[in-house]
Structure 1
Amino acid sequence: MPSSAQPTATHEFVAGTAFLGRGLKMWITSPRLMLLGALPALIVGILYLVGIVVLLVNVETIAVTISPFANGWDEPWRTGVRVLAGAAAAAAGILLLAYTFVAVTLMIGDPFYERIWRAVETDLGDAPVEAKRGLLRPIADALRLVALAVLVALLLLLCGLVPGLGQLIALVLGAVLGGWILTLELTGFAFDARGFTLTQRRRMLRARQSRSLGFGVLTYLLFLIPGAAVIVMPAAVAGAALLSRDVLEATKPSDQR
């Protein structure tokens, strides 16, 4: 009796990255629409760049503030701890900006990104009935995700303070948790249009966790490249629409497929 092998987590992760690749193709098929989506990302990116510069200029002061226990230590231990604290604070600050970038950009460029999402849904067929989206729930969801991002950034700050493997653990956790948060944020259009809450969205994406993480982690890593977010952001909205359709189809009851 033939057995149907279940796809491995690695296969699912790679399949998830392909959704972003398909989103990037829209720069070829719909360049004007994608340029509109790049504009809010550019504006927010410039503001965040200023924030990063301010953070780095004041990183020494921040390091001293968060490590008062080292004030009476002898050298080189005091300086060593301050260097670790400064690096952890800088990393946590940059990660926090990366996590909140999508939520802020989506709020500013909502009409543009809704057009990109709608174009993908229309192209796939069986798109949700066009209706005016309410403002309160998407904003509430965005604030909840920003609060989650703050908690994650604080967790990574604590991890970064651990000597030895702390920085490596913070980097790996940052990519995984950051990818998950980005996926939750970017899939909002598709799930909101179908009446699902953030809790339901999270549960359905978790049912395809490896695939969802593949999309989110790749998006997160590309966002860390200076200037790349301007190009990747509209593509990520398109890719998230494709991922959402895939997840919704997979989690639909069998008698409705």
Structure 2
Amino acid sequence: MGFAHGAGFLLHGLRMWRRRPGLMLLGIVPALLVLVVMVGLLVVGVLYVDDLVAWATPFADDWSGAARGVLRIGLAIALLLGSLVLFVVTFTGLTLAVGDPFYEKIWRETELMLGGDVPERGVGWLRGAIDGAGLVVLGIATTAGVFVIGLVPVVGPVVGPVLGVVVSGRLVAGELVSRSLEARGLDRADQKALLAGHRPAMLGFGTVVQLCFLVPFGAVLMMPAAVVGSTMLAREALDSRVP
């Protein structure tokens, strides 16, 4: 149940592309729509990051050129890194909210493939949208933390992104896995208790998913696989319960 074991669930999800390509293509539609919008916003942010930093630091106008440059370059790097973390987490939340009917279809077919007791209904679009919005809020908070850490000289630009990927990955894993668990009537407290013994696996799965999302167009292709992999991870956690 270690880190590598959890990361392997994404590989299991990717195998579904070979077994059920038509089903997996359904998950590309909402992911692609959200990606186009968010990439556009990210590009705008990159183009205007210098102007934004200069606007936010008018007090540095009278500093020496070297000091002003160090401050504003550091802020620009921290802002870009934070935006990247926000992009990844927000993408997942928005995609789950927009594409819930598509991903519920993928979830259900995965459940049927695994066999056993399968819930008659998923969490529903409204509940999925609320959970997706909650993930976006948590992503914004994570981004703020990454931005602050990124301001630390020397180590900040390295430690910030690493923590951002790990923390946001754990959040995304929790949100994806919760779909199968909520459909079985488990509230957040029950889910936390159930997954307590699977923390390394959850972290491994979420971290690998986040890293794949950083690859151009990786988020579009990986999102359906992440839904499949998270369903399998949830079923493993459920099957490992002691009666």
| Correspondence 1:228 to 2:218 | yes
Q: Does 1:45 align with 2:3?
A: no
In structure 1, how many angstroms separate the alpha carbons of the residues matched to 2:223 and 2:136? 17
Q: 1:69 to 1:200 in 2, by over 3 A?
A: farther
Q: Is the 8 A contact 1:179 1:219 kept in 2?
A: yes
Mapping for residues 1-257 of structure 1, pairs under 5 Å: 12-131=2-121, 133-250=123-240, 252=241, 254=242, 256=243
C-alpha RMSD of the superposition: 1.6
CA apart distance, 1:94 = 1.6
**Larger mean Cα displacement after TM superposition, 60-69 or 181-190:** 60-69
Q: Partner amino acid for 1:171?
A: P
In the TM superposition, what is the alpha-carbon distance from 1:30 to its structure 2 partner?
0.1
Q: Is the CA contact 2:94–2:133 (under 8 Å) kept in the aligned structure 1? A: no
TM-score (norm 1): 0.89
What are the Cα deviations for residues 153-208 of structure 1, in whole angstroms up to 9, with x where unaligned? 00000011111100111021011101101102211320111112234334433431
Paired amino acid for 1:149: G
Is contact 2:97–2:131 with CA below 8 Å preserved after alignment? no
- 1:184–1:201 Cα contact (<8 Å) kept: no
Give the Cα separation in 2 of the matches to 1:170 and 1:132. Answer: 36
Letter in 2 for 1:226: P
How far apart, in 1, do the equivalents of 2:48 and 2:147 lie?
Answer: 16
Please, which runs of 5 or more residues in structure 2 have no aligned partner?
Answer: none
What's the CA shift for 1:69? 4.3
Please say which of residues 237-246 and 135-144 is displaced more in the overlay: 135-144
One-letter identity of the residue aligned with 1:111 = P
User: Matched residues in 1 for 2:61 and 2:193: separation?
Assistant: 46
Aligned residues: 243
Amino acid aligned to 2:144 = L
TM-score by length of 2: 0.94
C-alpha distance in structure 1 between counterparts of 2:99 and 2:196, whole Å:
27
The one-letter amino acid paired with 1:212 is M
Residues 1:132 and 1:25: Cα distance change in structure 2 (over 3 Å) = closer
How many angstroms does 1:136 deviate by? 4.2
**What is the identity, as a one-letter code, of the residue corresponding to 1:34?**
M
* Identical amino acids, percent of aligned pairs: 36
Distance apart, 1:68 and its partner CA: 4.1
Q: Would the alpha carbon gap of residues 149 and 132 (structure 1) be closer, same or farther in structure 2, given more than 3 Å must change?
A: closer
Supply the distance in 1 between the matched residues of 2:64 and 2:132 (Cα, whole angstroms). 45
Alignment deviations for residues 184-237 of structure 1 (CA, whole Å, 9 cap, x no partner)? 221132011111223433443343111111110000000000111111110000
Report the residue type matching 1:115 in the other structure: K
1:128·1:193 contact (CA, 8 Å) conserved in 2?
Answer: no
Aligned mates of 1:67, 1:101 — CA distance in 2? 29
Secondary structure of the structure 1 residue equivalent to 2:17: helix
Paired letter, 1:94: L
